[in-house]
Structure 1
Amino acid sequence: MGSLALITTLLILSVIGGGSAVEYSVTNTAENTPGGTKFNNVIGAEYSQQTLAAASDFIWGIFQQTNPADRKSFDRVSLFIDVFDEVEFKDAPAYASNNEIHWNGNGNRDEQLLYLNEGIADFVRLKAGYPAPGWEGPGKGDRWDEGYSVTARFLEYCDGLKSGFVAELNKKLRDSYSPNFFQDLLGKSVDTLWAEYKATYAN
């Protein structure tokens, strides 16, 4: 498992939240493979647990969840190092289920919400200083809800208009989803905000 995959799994915590006394576990089921051996030798379970805990604190700060009551309650987060066919990863974003980190395809969620969730995860990664090589730069993309780096950059722009915007948006997404959340929080429709964002970075 590469460092990019580990960083991505850490960002899943932005979706699942967390309680106060969380236990972090790491299981390497690929110890007899080159990747599993490299994980043990270069990263290791202890460092991964420390990193998961530090990532939790960082993400709770991003989402302004300083009070444990504001977080989704759970006792354990498990990280699994597994062997997957490369084809499985082609279009497979990471996701969390039962407080375990896994990888999965698009699932059955609303497409716009799916890509907004991916954008929020990449926004956290952006704020942590881990943009991936090849990420779209500010102002790029055709739609605000393309997901991943395009949506992350747009959310960064919106957060610049109102500090804490993404934290407030994340809170709203707990119960439902509507593109009107942008209007509620910033006083403009998401389409207007997207047009202004594009104009800001126009060459």
Structure 2
Amino acid sequence: MTNLHFFSLSLLAVVTLTVTINGIHPINVYDFDNRAGSSAGYVRFNREIGVPYARQTLITATYDIWRWFEQYSAAQRKDINRLVLILENFPDSQVQVPPYATTNEIHLNGRYIASYSGDVKREITGVLYHELTHVLQWNGNGRAPGWLIEGIADYVRLRSGYIPSNWVKPGGGDSFYKEYDVTARFLDYCTGLRSNFVAELNKKLRPTGYVDDYFRQLLGKTVYQLWDDYKRTYAG
């Protein structure tokens, strides 16, 4: 059952959606908070994306990420009851700074949206998949390396189908440590070796810490051997 509570954004900056999922609802409320006023970023967001689309994208992405992470019950997921999408204008010097996520918030840069050249709706859809992954994924209690955390988030974006045209091609990059699209492509290769690889890797990040040996435990080879295999596969 879905209960919608709509308010005019000119009167109230928060739109709330209450979602009940088969009686189990780790995320009960999806909120939108406009802190960008009537700026160009807000105007473009409202015209080309819109709160209803962004909200529905987050709901769909939540289901997708839980499925891809094989988190089929509330006990397997993070205990998050409320997610807030915040539109704000980052400082003038940070026009191109991308969004970021905290424990239960996703912050969109209004200046980035205003200045983006291209299909901004498609771009932000991919961004929401990436940033929502940070909200939902396990991170070794903050001790997992950044390259892996960002790589998993971009792997989810890759699976969503909303990736930029300037992403590295499969087999590209100098190291799996490069983060983002390079690591995402490598994780996608690993998933070809074991279909639930990223899900199992994410499960291993639920306790504290991370070790490279997780790759060997799941795929029988070290991460360095797997990277060499990956490079050779696409070089051929």
Query: Do they superpose with TM above 0.5?
Result: yes
Task: Report what 1:179 is aligned to.
Answer: 212
Q: Which moved more, 1:21-30 or 1:69-78?
A: 21-30
Match of 1:97 in 2: 102
Structural mapping, 1:146-185, within 5 Å: 146-175=178-207, 176-185=209-218
Please state how far the C-alpha of 1:88 moved relative to its aligned partner. 3.0
One-letter amino acid of the structure 1 residue matched with residue 84 of structure 2: S
TM-align CA RMSD: 2.2
Q: Counterpart amino acid of 1:173?
A: L
Q: Is the 8 A contact 2:171 2:186 kept in 1?
A: yes
Q: Contact conserved, 1:120 with 1:155, CA < 8 A, in 2? A: yes
TM-score, normalization: structure 1? 0.81
Q: Against the structure 1 CA distance between its residues 21 and 134, is the aligned structure 2 distance closer, same or farther, given a 3 Å change threshold?
A: closer
Unaligned runs of 5+ in 2: 1-23, 109-141
Name the structure 2 match of 1:48: 54
Bigger Rg, which one? 2
1:100 offset after TM fit, Å? 1.1
Structure 1's unaligned 5+ residue stretches are: 1-17, 104-108
Provide runs of 4+ in structure 1 moved above 6 Å: none
Amino acid at match of 1:180: D
Report 1:50-199 matches (<5 A). 50-85=56-91, 87-88=93-94, 94-102=99-107, 113-175=145-207, 176-199=209-232
**Offset, 1:84:** 1.2
Q: What letter matches 2:186 in structure 1?
A: F
Worse overlay, 44-53 or 93-102: 93-102
Partner of 1:31: 37
Structure 1 residues 93 and 165: alpha-carbon distance in aligned structure 2, compared to 1, 3 A threshold: farther
Q: Would you say the 8 A contact 2:26–2:74 is kept in 1?
A: yes
